[in-house]
Amino acid sequence: MLLLISSFAIAQTSKQNIKLDFKDAPISKVITSIEKQSTFKFFYNNDINSNRKVSIQITSSNINEVVNLLLKNLPIDYQISGQRIVLFVKKATESKGKAYAVTGVISDATGPVIGASVVPKNGQGTITAIDGDFRLDNIHIGEVLTISYVGYQTQNVVFDGQSKLDITLHEDTEVLDEVVVTALGIRKEAKALSYNVQALSASEIIGVKDANFVNSLSGKVAGVAINASSSGIGGGAKVVMRGAKSISGNNNALYVIDGIPMPSLETTQPNDFYTGMGQSGDGASMVNPEDIENMSILSGAAASALYGSDAANGVIMITTKKGSKDKLRVNYANSTSFYSPFVTPEFQNTYGASNGMLQSWGQKLAQPSTYDPMDFFQTGWNETNSLTISNGTEKNQTFLSMAATNAEGLVQNNTLDRYNFTIRNTTSMLNDKMQLDLSASYMNVREQNMISQGQYFNPIVSTYLMSPSYSLETYQLFEMYDESRGFKTQYWPWGNMGIGMQNPYWITNRDNFINHKNRFLVSGGLNYQIAKGITLGARAKMDYTSAINEKKYSASTDAIFAQKNGAYFKADASTRQLYGDVMLNIDKYFGDFSLTGTVGTSIQDVNYQYYSVGGDLNSVANSFTLKNLNQANAEFDQDGYHDQTQSLFATAQLGWQSKLYLDVTGRIDWASALAWTDHNSVAYPSVGLSAILTDLLPIKNDVLTFLKLRGSYSEVGNAPTRYIAYQTYPYQSGTPTTTTTYPNTNIKPERTKAWEVGLQSHLWGDKLMLNVSLYKTSTYNQLFNPSLPSSSGYSSVYINGGRVDNKGLEASLSLNQPLGPVEWNSTLTYTINRNKIKQLLEPTTLSGGLAVEGQDMFDLGGIGNVKTRLIKGGSIGDLYVTALRTDEHGYIDVDYVNNTVAVDDKAGDKKDGWIYAGNSQAKYTLGWRNSFSWNGLTLGFLINARIGGVGVSMTQA
């Protein structure tokens, strides 16, 4: 019947030529083009696969000729009735009823391919044997066979009755031509880059979800140390790339969302005895990971130089999702995880407590204790529910997401509740010459009882230092009724023992620290194509965060912090960031040469305000309201700052025959932190060269399919602390006072000079990929605050000096290897970094003749018998500890009369009682991640190891 229809179809013509030129395009797209160029309309049912890819090139006014070519080799027939063209699936008796056995051989340019997958659209597939051959049964005419193999282009072959199929696979160059997002959101070909950029997909980021997605990056990229916060669930992570460079400044990476820098909103970790409470997550910890499309890690200075002083420590580039075209997509996801402590310090259970002491300095126990500090911890959990909706047309796309994250940490009452809402709309106008991108996000976060280092409000201190003579269960009843006071008070008979102890269960239940944050982000971008290859773009963003922090100390908390009825403090802080930029982009080819470039300007304005009030409670115990404060000793505070940076920047990449690329960037910042100094602007240059050796030299073969050599030099920096170059007048007890810091106008920004060389190779297509980078950085103009003699009239001065070097290697090795029908992807990362303090503070004479003595040693923060010390020739992270005095035989000198030991105050190289214990930084890190995929099911695991580094335990139990 179909043959009769085809035979008697009348040749019809269009009023004008129909011109088609498509390659691997959906049938629906070709049909749309035919309809636009003619008066014909197509009609078909859902049994026609309109997404099937076709290639067609024709110019004709004969519609039969056009449609016949379009449907050639497809199991689709047609009928023309007037101006209607009806498509339907072929129902010829032969193709419908008879099944065939199909054999064939799959090969590439070198010979048979073993393990290639051959799968019919509606049936059971197979893989090729050792000779590349395969066999499939029950295949019908018109059925499509999909042939795929890692590192090669996937092919779809229509079976038309042939007895044997001989198919040649071709290399897939998609990975080599991969496009990555670089600084300012500029997209570039990965092979053209002269610096290292490591890309992660959304699935690699959210495969195993963490309350803070940054922790999920650990072990997945080389050269990046992810240090999870000790604050508990939801805490901000510290991300250090290629080693710590700054002695007194910031060493954290910059986060950038869709090309726009994000304020850190960071709460620093405490470094003294008394803090350790009221910590909070940073700005990145509030981001919904379900909104992330992909991520680029710019670990080197050359990669991040376009962000100037903000990016001295590398950049994490986040690209968020947009709406989809022509299809409504609704996705709901739930992720629930549980976790428990992996390892604790080693404890002794042989010796017990002495009289009146909690620590283990007593007699040997008759039987070893079964006390286990692990009993204090609970099983933590984290649950995330997310819903995303995406829809749109060719001209307009919308993306909507909602997520709820609820979690509880390993310590009781450490909780996190976060709610995210995002909407984004992208529109194309003026024949796709103009694109408008608008987005808005709202984040609501409540954090409770985030802990960190410190003593009084860290329950781990009492838990770890408790003697095995006692049981933690005894103190689970953490409060008892006090008849004299008429309410329950803390049960802890030991006092603070001189090291800030309280009942650990009292800390978690009665000393509450609550953070409630609201964050609003609104951004917009507009791009206009002035001419082919030339676009003008502008972006703007407002990021506003308000945070309320409450600290509630119940009555009978240590008297250092709260009097008899307790204490209450409330703080209100807000951060508002405004950002805007304008960029002119060019992407042109001139014969063998290509030129891509950007020139632009940006402004960033950050305003921070802080207000707090608090003090001891008045007459009503544990009534935590401002009206119940004791007005006689209430504390009031107000603080804030206003920073602004104005910038000019430019970047250009010149390519030759897609084989050789030269990169040059430059940026000038005018930062308000440099106002009133002799150096109110600073320039950041970079230059790089990359060469595709397999295209330049005759070395490409079946094994070595890609080899690139690259090198770069760049300079970046850190802006100095604000307000240090001129006199300020802070309030004390309601009266303005003069600061005693000498106003040094010769302050310069910290500056890092970086060199990097790298090698990237692909073997056997993209089956095995190696990426190696060697780097060295030197950071100058470190900021010091030495003391001045009293005769100067000032107490101290901020001054530049010192030099810190980092050098290291970062490498990644990836393998893509099918295991039968299972696709196996494996990546191994390795990082080694060595840090050296080359110079500290040299003798200096300030303007006016004021002399500053040089110093070759600085002591930083510490607790008890351990501290961090900087020494010329040492490294950042060097730990020093006290040592016990010994006798002439090397034994500990014990005073048997008083049963005491003493610290040797003459120990160490400096003869000051402090000896070098080691460095806290890892000697090297390893990461190994694997994924196994089969029929839409994926199983993966990650092993992350940090080898080396010294820690000092304060436990004595």
Length of the chain: 957
pLDDT at 443: 95
Could you tell me the pLDDT band of residue 5, with boundaries at 50, 70 and 90? very low
Query: 205 CB contacts (<8 Å, ≥6 apart)?
Result: 213, 216, 217, 289, 292, 295
Residues of the chain with CATH 3.55.50.30: 2-91
Q: Which residues contact 611 (CB under 8 A, 6 or more apart)?
A: 571, 572, 573, 637, 638
| pLDDT of 421 higher than 90 | yes
* Percent of the chain topping pLDDT 70: 90
* CA separation, residue 574 to residues 260, 491, 519, 521, 546 (Å): 20, 38, 10, 14, 4
> pLDDT tens for residues 293-331?
888 888 877 767 778 777 778 888 888 998 888 778 899
Task: Give the N- to C-terminal CA distance of the chain in Å, as an integer.
Answer: 91
pLDDT digits (tens, 9 = 90+) for 677-702: 888 888 999 999 999 999 899 998 88
pLDDT at 753: 92
CA atoms within 13 A on the CB side of 675: 11
Give the mean pLDDT of 855-877: 86
pLDDT digits (tens, 9 = 90+) for 886-929: 888 888 887 777 767 788 888 888 888 889 999 989 999 999 99
Closest CA to 318 of 266, 260, 263: 260
Spatial distance between the Cα atoms of 586 and 571, rounded to a whole number of angstroms: 49
Location of each CATH 2.60.40.10 domain in the chain: 94-168
3-state secondary structure 886-940: ECCCCCECEECCCCEECECCCCCCCCCCEEEEEECCCCEEEEEEEEEEECCEEEE
- Give yes or no for residue 106 having a pLDDT over 60: yes
CA 754/CA 114 separation, integer angstroms = 45
Whether pLDDT at 709 is above 90: yes
- Helix, strand or coil for residue 460? helix
Q: Among 5-9, 460-464, 750-754, which is the least confidently predicted range? A: 5-9
Does the global pTM surpass 0.85? no
Is the domain spanning 94-168 CATH 2.60.40.10? The answer is yes
Query: Which residue, chain included where needed, has tokens 């106002």?
Result: 675
Q: Read out DSSP for 168-231? A: E--B--TTTT-EEE-GGG-EEEGGG-SS-EEEEEHHHHHSS--SSGGGGGTTTSTTEEEE--TT
Tokens of 817: 């290897």
Distances (CA, A) of 764 to 150, 171, 173, 819: 10, 9, 12, 16
Q: In CATH, what number does 2-91 get?
A: 3.55.50.30
Q: Tens digit of pLDDT for each residue in 217-248?
A: 888 888 888 877 777 787 777 888 888 888 88
At 95, the pLDDT band (50, 70, 90 cuts) reads very low
Looking at CATH, the fold of the domain delimited by 207-223+255-341+350-839+922-947 is given as: Maltoporin; Chain A (2.40.170)
Is residue 26 predicted with pLDDT exceeding 90?
A: no
Phi/psi-derived region of residue 657, left when phi > 0, alpha when psi is between -120 and 50, beta in every other case: left
Pull the structure tokens for residue 542: 């407002």
pLDDT digits (tens, 9 = 90+) for 266-300: 654 444 444 445 567 777 888 888 888 888 888 87
Q: Which of 258-272, 401-415, 706-720: highest mean pLDDT?
A: 401-415
Asked whether the beta carbons of 485 and 559 are under 8 A apart, the reply is: no
State the pLDDT at residue 2: 30
Say if residues 535 and 266 touch (Cβ distance below 8 Å).
no
Q: What is the pLDDT of residue 521?
A: 95
Domain with CATH 2.40.170.20 in the chain: 207-223+255-341+350-839+922-947
pLDDT 10s digits, 149-202: 755 677 877 776 776 888 888 765 444 456 666 766 777 777 777 778 888 888
